Structure 1
Amino acid sequence: MSTQLKKQRSILILFTIFAISINLRPAITSIGPMLETIREQLSLTNVHVSLLTAIPVICMGVFATLAPIFNRQFGLKHTMYIMLILIGAMTALRGFVSGFPILIGTAFIIGICIAVIGPLLSAMIKQHFPDRAASVIGVYSFGMGAGSAASAGLTGLFYEVTGSYFFALSIWALLVIIGLASWFFMIKENLEVRQTVSVAVQVKEKGKSPWKTRKAWLFLLFFGLQSSLFFSIITWLAPIASNAGMTLLQAGTLLSVMTTVQIFLNILLPLLMEKFPARKFWINVMLVSGLLATILFWTGFHPLMWVGAVIMGIPLGGLFPVALLLPLDETDTADETNSWTAMMQTGGFIMAGIVPLLIAFVFDWTSNHTYTFIILTTMYLVMFALTYMIGDKKESI
């Protein structure tokens, strides 16, 4: 294959990774701006409505083991088609059938689909871009951030224009068309994902199980806390802003500002860390930014909350790709990396589904978001401690 053809093939794969990844968050992040509206119109508690974001995130951890099974049974081509079509169909269904059971059922199926797609995209990155993993993970994260930013910022606007939260939630099914079209053109290359190890919690017989390794547990906790922070803030920032006196449109715009900053940091921070590999320094910068933004939100003073939204984009944009890179830095073989990553994401996403639910339970009990900010602050402080326990990457100077 000529150099020009290889370059075109790589660009096509990169665009496809982006086009698919933009579909991995809108069905979850579009719920945040509509949280209060759904709760009021369906007469739900905060715990009930928070299940709409908690269930798919927990599924992302629990059902990640299905990825290699589907890959072996149906092949990469058909598995990706099935998962994308299901995400689109379930998202669209929210616009035609109302009721809490439908919202819960679609959230469950969408969560399973995301659980299958995520590991397969990671495997594609590892297989086709082994020497540029950090940069390509940035593209993957950028795609998810773009989907999050669009759905967080525009869902409230769609509701204001149409007066229908059904439409505001279901419109995001259109993004699947982009993913399916790009996958159709890319699959002509007859690309497959070779997986010799389950994306579950296993490792080669000769290797040591990550479940028996202290540092792998530290990675799991770090990934779980950063994911918990992301989904907690995405889910609860709009209700917090509304509680502080903002309109629904202002709260949605606040969320959009934060996620817009996030998508640029998804690309920028991994590149900076690749060029200046002082891992602890960059993580501390992100954690300090997140802690400061939390305090600004806590004031309830609108101008400071807008500043907080800009600053909060820093940790939300950087911590996820950094967490994905931790196993790559620490392990020596592809099989070992897969095993550590699987453990980290399985446990981490389960944590990330539970924490926003805990916030909902506490808020239902107290009707006070002070406890929400205490939970967020505690998570940041624990991550500071984990950062020093994890240390810098092995080869850094």
Structure 2
Amino acid sequence: MKNRRFNKLRAPTMSIPSDKEQVLNHWLGVAALFMASLNLRPAVASIAPVLGSIQHDLGLSGAVSSLLVSIPVLCMSLLAPFSVKLSERLGNEQVITLSLVLIGASTLLRLFIQSASLLFLTALLSGIGIAMMGPLLSGFIKKYMADRVPSMIAMYSMALALGAALGSSLTSPLQWKLHSWQMALSFWLIPAILALPLWFSVQRRQIHASDTKVSISKPLKLPWKTGKAWILAIQFGLLSVVFYSLLGWFPLMLITAGISRFHAGFMVTLFAIIQIPSGVILQLLLKVYPSRRNWLIISSLMQATGLLLLFFSTFLWSAVLICGLGSGMLFALVNLLPVETTSTPEEAASWAAMTQCFGFLIGASGPFLTGWMYDRIGNFNVGILGMVMISILMGVISLFIVPRKDSLTFSNTS
């Protein structure tokens, strides 16, 4: 057949794919989405488990070493709008493929690190790749999977959580096994290698398609003047502050709370693992009670409760479970709402780009401020209490997501 298409794509001048080809295209799209999403976290999450070795070998302070997390997050903020502009010229699929190449190349480069400057360069390059790909995955879901947005966002969230879990839990054992933190960090090239063939196949199936590139009569604009987009962006930013602060410092937070290094490693792994099914759990909960706003409030309070237990150094295993589940559900929700609120793939990508631009700009400050306060005070109490207040603020802001009478009107398709 001359033009192969993903499921749900139709063009009046083209023949309709067979049922077998539609199924093949659908599962190719799902697999490509999952593997691309899997690459969005390991380059950042793998830093914290070997941060002590990095600081020792390269002579970095807490505030400076926290930039290894803050730099990629800052890239995700500043470059997110450019990903939409670039997709107008090249198409979503091509930009995602190029982003995977950049993430893989920067991860491979970590094998040769002997100086802090090269390490920070890899953080910058991986941040650029993640920034260019992140918003476009929302557009990809809206374009090819518009009839199953909640389930695809759940899978997207699961892949991100899995990537973070693998990066945070396996990097330290890899360092011990390979006798090198450089080799442990470069190991995360493998997910990019596995994802690239899928996206090359996606490109081949789209190369002759009439809508491979976005056709618009005027430049696509980000919704800077839309109030709901700003609320979602602020929510995303506050969540990012907490998430990336924990991503960079959670092991040391648990150790200073009295947990052994061995058990702290297990608890960090548990925190990451509990977020993997959180998107699926949320999808099931939305089928029973579909109010996105109310689940935002509940998830925010769960995250605050877990952090409060961590602040008082009590019931730490429960703290990790509650905080991890709340954080995972929050992430799935703040990624679901921009896709559900918009009506076209291009609009979904632009909303995602704006929320990530502003959100990650706020989030980038989290790891740095947490590390800076730890250097000054000698403990994480102020940082943890700040994250508790941020989580409560997220719950308050959620009251303004939609009017009360419209709180159940979001699409509930699955």
State the TM-score, normalizing by the size of structure 1.
0.90
RMSD between superposed Cα atoms in Å: 2.4
Q: 236, 257, 265: which one pairs with 1:244? A: 257
Provide the rounded CA distance (Å) in 2 between the counterparts of 1:72 and 1:357.
Answer: 34
Q: Which residue of 2 is the match for residue 182 of structure 1?
A: 198
* 1:262 to partner: Cα distance: 0.2
Aligned pairs, number: 388
Matches within 5 A, 1:1-397: 1-76=17-92, 78-190=94-206, 193-196=212-215, 202=221, 210-301=223-314, 304-331=315-342, 336-391=347-402, 394=406, 396=408
Matching residue's letter, 1:66 = F
Residues 284, 73 of structure 1: CA spacing in aligned structure 2 closer, same or farther, 3 A cutoff?
Answer: closer
* 1:319 to partner: Cα distance: 0.9
* 1:66 to partner: Cα distance: 2.6
Instruction: State which drifts further: 238-247 or 354-363.
Output: 238-247
Residues 371, 219 of structure 1: CA spacing in aligned structure 2 closer, same or farther, 3 A cutoff?
Answer: same
Matching residue's letter, 1:53 = V
Report the 3-state secondary structure (helix = DSSP H, G, I; strand = E; otherwise coil) of the residue aligned with 1:241: helix
Report the 3-state secondary structure (helix = DSSP H, G, I; strand = E; otherwise coil) of the residue aligned with 2:59: coil
Report the 3-state secondary structure (helix = DSSP H, G, I; strand = E; otherwise coil) of the residue aligned with 2:268: helix
Matching residue's letter, 1:118 = G
Provide the rounded CA distance (Å) in 1 between the counterparts of 2:269 and 2:398.
Answer: 29
Residue deviations 1:348-393, cap 9 Å, x none? 0111111221111111111121111111111011112101122469
* 1:159 to partner: Cα distance: 2.2
* 1:97 to partner: Cα distance: 2.1
Provide the rounded CA distance (Å) in 2 between the counterparts of 1:103 and 1:169.
Answer: 10
Residues 361, 329 of structure 1: CA spacing in aligned structure 2 closer, same or farther, 3 A cutoff?
Answer: same
Residue deviations 1:202-242, cap 9 Å, x none? 25xxxxxx323333222111111112211111111111123
- Determine if contact 2:256/2:379 at 8 Å carries over to the other structure: no
Provide the rounded CA distance (Å) in 1 between the counterparts of 2:159 and 2:364.
Answer: 21
Residue deviations 1:14-34, cap 9 Å, x none? 011001111110000111222
Report the 3-state secondary structure (helix = DSSP H, G, I; strand = E; otherwise coil) of the residue aligned with 1:63: helix
Identity %: 31
Provide the rounded CA distance (Å) in 2 between the counterparts of 1:180 and 1:332.
Answer: 29
Matching residue's letter, 2:307 = T
Residues 276, 82 of structure 1: CA spacing in aligned structure 2 closer, same or farther, 3 A cutoff?
Answer: same
Provide the rounded CA distance (Å) in 1 between the counterparts of 2:137 and 2:106.
Answer: 21
* 1:336 to partner: Cα distance: 4.7
- Determine if contact 1:289/1:315 at 8 Å carries over to the other structure: yes
Q: Which residue of 1 is the match for residue 412 of structure 2?
A: none
State the TM-score, normalizing by the size of structure 2.
0.86
Provide the rounded CA distance (Å) in 2 between the counterparts of 1:18 and 1:300.
Answer: 36
- Determine if contact 2:251/2:268 at 8 Å carries over to the other structure: yes
- Determine if contact 2:138/2:349 at 8 Å carries over to the other structure: no
- Determine if contact 1:135/1:271 at 8 Å carries over to the other structure: no
* 1:86 to partner: Cα distance: 1.9
Provide the rounded CA distance (Å) in 2 between the counterparts of 1:76 and 1:329.
Answer: 19
Provide the rounded CA distance (Å) in 2 between the counterparts of 1:394 and 1:60.
Answer: 32
Residue deviations 1:160-181, cap 9 Å, x none? 3334211221111111111112
Residue deviations 1:75-115, cap 9 Å, x none? 55543333212211211211222221111111111111111
- Determine if contact 1:29/1:235 at 8 Å carries over to the other structure: yes
Matching residue's letter, 2:191 = L
Residues 319, 327 of structure 1: CA spacing in aligned structure 2 closer, same or farther, 3 A cutoff?
Answer: same
Provide the rounded CA distance (Å) in 2 between the counterparts of 1:3 and 1:272.
Answer: 32
- Determine if contact 2:73/2:127 at 8 Å carries over to the other structure: yes
Matching residue's letter, 2:117 = P
Matching residue's letter, 2:221 = Q
Residues 336, 19 of structure 1: CA spacing in aligned structure 2 closer, same or farther, 3 A cutoff?
Answer: closer
- 5+ long unaligned stretches in structure 1: 204-209
